[in-house]
Amino acid sequence: MAEIKIKVDPRIAKAFSTASVKEQEKVSRILNEIIEYVLDKEKLKSFFTAREVLSQEAQENGLTPEILEEILNEKI
User: pLDDT per residue over 26-54, tens digit each?
Assistant: 999 999 988 887 888 888 788 889 999 99
- Distance, in Å, from the CA atom of 43 to the CA atom of 47, rounded to the nearest integer, reads 6
- Neighbouring residues of 47: CB distance < 8 A, sequence distance ≥ 6: 37
Q: Tally the residues of the chain.
A: 76
Q: pTM of the prediction?
A: 0.54
Say whether pLDDT at 73 is over 80: yes
